[in-house]
Chains A and B, each alone.
Chain A
Amino acid sequence: MNEELFNKLKEKLTAKFNDAVEVSEITYGFPTFTIKKDHIHEVLTFLKNDEELNFHFLTDLTGFQTADEKHLGVIYHLHNMIKNNRVRIKTFFDINKPEIPTATDLWPGANWMERETFDFYGVKFKGHPKLKRILNVDEMDIFPMRKEYPLEDQSRDDKNDKMFGR
């Protein structure tokens, strides 16, 4: 069933947004599409408003940093409750220019999820009504979930963990 959905989504998305779809794959039974940053808002609008697909529910929105530490990403999980279809939409962009259009105009519930993503990854959502930190203190000047801020001071030499790895 998921493959059927995947094929239909792939067909529809490539027909409408020819170059915008970078990767389309199915991971652990979950249709996943990577969309170019410039088209993300159009794609989300299309997925939400298309009568057949009708992904009317935003399950989750979260940030991501790629392994090369040079790109940030935003990951959307959309859900069509009536047919119980789910899709994951990803988009990646340069860490030095982390700007992406907001999804709050489509789902008011994206508000805090986007604030959280801004808080932890520093992704600036253009058009967000009130983009400020939510879980961390306002005075914080770093984006703590980025990989450049390790959890423990890596320069400590009083702990020798070479034997066991960390």
Chain B
Amino acid sequence: MSKKDNNIPESENTMEKEYSILNLGPTHPATHGIFQNILKMDGEIIHEAEPTVGYIHRAFEKLAERRPYNQITPITDRLNYCSSPINNMGWHMTVEKLIGCTVPKRVDYMRVIIMELARIADHLVCNSVVGVDTGAMTGFLYIFQWREKIYDIYEGICGARLTTNIGRIGGFEREWSKDVWDKINNFVKEYPKALKEFANLLERNKIFMDRTVNCGPISSKMALEYSFTGPNLRATGVDYDVRVATPYSSYQDFDFIIPIGTSGDTYDRFMVRQEEMWQSLKIIEQAIKNMPKDQPFHADVPEFYLPPKEEVYNNMEALIYHFKIVMGETNVPKGEVYHSVEGGNGELGFYLVSDGGRTPFRLHFRRPCFIYYQAYPEMVKGIMLSDAIITMSSMNVIAGELDA
């Protein structure tokens, strides 16, 4: 048989490799948010990913340039909506830094409680969704009622559940009721049991480990180059946590450890978040135990903190301040500050420039999601499509924070 007859191409060059293009998203149920990825696939292996972001961009930085300081808090809710109280507190603390206001220790501790509850809620969503994406629906269904209980606590404090707008510049809007304290105590008492159950379900589960170990890894060097922060950076083995590096809100008073991973894969990210939930519980317990008594729940900043209603009706100064705050005519010093807090996903920074006007001259949010999502194409190169899905959910990319 001659060479030509058997249909085998004469050289490698005549056979061209063909890639298929797959459009993942923007509204795909597996991406948990509005993300589009145009994937160049070689069979089931991703050869190249091209992410498109910005589908829910709402121009927060521009909006903030037209709003008085206390009206910016609701904007921050909508950044990382899984842990909005952390964003709210971060913003309050930024303004407090600018106006030079020190809050009572009690406010710090109350803030710590609410921020750590928000961190638990955030990690809980992320970890249970990693479970769902690997096929374990059970954990998600059982653990989600605990997020509801956290939301009940928010509701008792500020009246809202998801977009909380919790607290004020200078402290909290009112004293927490007995009901709220009962709910918090109850949560701290009951949640470990549920978390233990969830951990038993997944942490040493053979199927789960087979799916997540060595899936979507990133080295610590690369993570630092891509400006990773938060659990995703800690999973690679770098022990950077804003709460410890630059303590805010009296975090230096608490005893907790920073869990780190080694290989930066999906399993490590999952485990770091798991351990952080335990640490958060520990912090909340300490905060409840050491809560300073007989201190006010807000700082004495009449120019920013709304006076109680009875005062407004009966006191001239209170009426003036009430009017000034509501109309947004308070005096703010000139200056520029950068303040960062450890958000659910990493270092959430606020860069605020004030020219002394009623609104910020420039406000920039350093959104951890936006920054680390750019490493995603690099991380999914050469792995399977189903692995790319769990890589994304274990990175906890939140569309609201990404697109601002």
A-side residues, CB < 8 A to B, are 27-28, 30, 32, 56-60, 62, 64-65, 67, 75, 77, 81, 84, 86, 88, 107-109, 111-113, 116, 120, 134-137, 144-145, 151-152, 164-166
Interface residues on B, range: 35 or more
What per-residue 1/0 map shows which CB atoms of B60-79 lie under 8 Å from chain A?
01110110000000000000
A67–B361 touching, CB < 8 Å: yes
Q: What residue in chain A is nearest B61 (Cβ atoms)? A: A145
Q: What residue in chain B is nearest A25 (Cβ atoms)? A: B336
A144–B59 touching, CB < 8 Å: yes
- Of A28, A59, A64, A144, the residue contacting B227 (CB under 8 A) is A59
Q: A109-B371, A136-B54 are in contact. Are A88 and B246 (CB under 8 A)?
A: no
Enumerate 15 A-B pairs (CB-CB under 8 Å) in ascending A order: A27-B337, A28-B337, A30-B336, A59-B227, A59-B347, A67-B355, A77-B338, A84-B246, A88-B338, A107-B225, A109-B227, A109-B375, A112-B371, A136-B57, A165-B329
B374–A77 touching, CB < 8 Å: no
B97–A28 touching, CB < 8 Å: yes
The yes or no answer to B141 lying at the interface (CB within 8 A) is no
A64–B353 touching, CB < 8 Å: yes
CA distance A59 to B54 in the complex (A): 21
Distance (whole angstroms) from the CB of A69 to the closest CB of chain B:
12
The yes or no answer to B53 lying at the interface (CB within 8 A) is yes
A135–B226 touching, CB < 8 Å: no
The yes or no answer to B390 lying at the interface (CB within 8 A) is no
B-side residues, CB < 8 A to A, are 53-54, 57, 59, 61-63, 65-66, 97-98, 222, 224-228, 238, 240, 245-246, 327, 329, 335-338, 340, 347, 349, 351, 353, 355, 358, 361-362, 364, 366, 370-371, 373-375, 403-404
* List of A residues within 8 angstroms of B225 by Cβ: 107-109
Distance (whole angstroms) from the CB of B131 to the closest CB of chain A:
29
A28–B335 touching, CB < 8 Å: yes
Q: What residue in chain B is nearest A165 (Cβ atoms)? A: B329
* List of A residues within 8 angstroms of B54 by Cβ: 134-137
B351–A75 touching, CB < 8 Å: yes
CA distance A75 to B353 in the complex (A): 12
A135–B404 touching, CB < 8 Å: yes
Q: A81-B238, A112-B370, A134-B53 are in contact. Are A60 and B335 (CB under 8 A)?
A: no
B335–A165 touching, CB < 8 Å: no
* List of B residues within 8 angstroms of A84 by Cβ: 245-246
Given contacts A59-B340, A88-B338, A136-B54, 13 further A-B contacts (CB under 8 A): A27-B336, A27-B337, A28-B337, A28-B338, A59-B227, A84-B245, A109-B228, A109-B374, A112-B371, A113-B371, A145-B62, A164-B329, A165-B327
Distance (whole angstroms) from the CB of A49 to the closest CB of chain B:
14
Q: A28-B97, A81-B245, A136-B57 are in contact. Are A58 and B227 (CB under 8 A)?
A: yes
- Of B57, B335, B349, the residue contacting A135 (CB under 8 A) is B57
Q: What residue in chain B is nearest A112 (Cβ atoms)? A: B374
CA distance A86 to B151 in the complex (A): 36
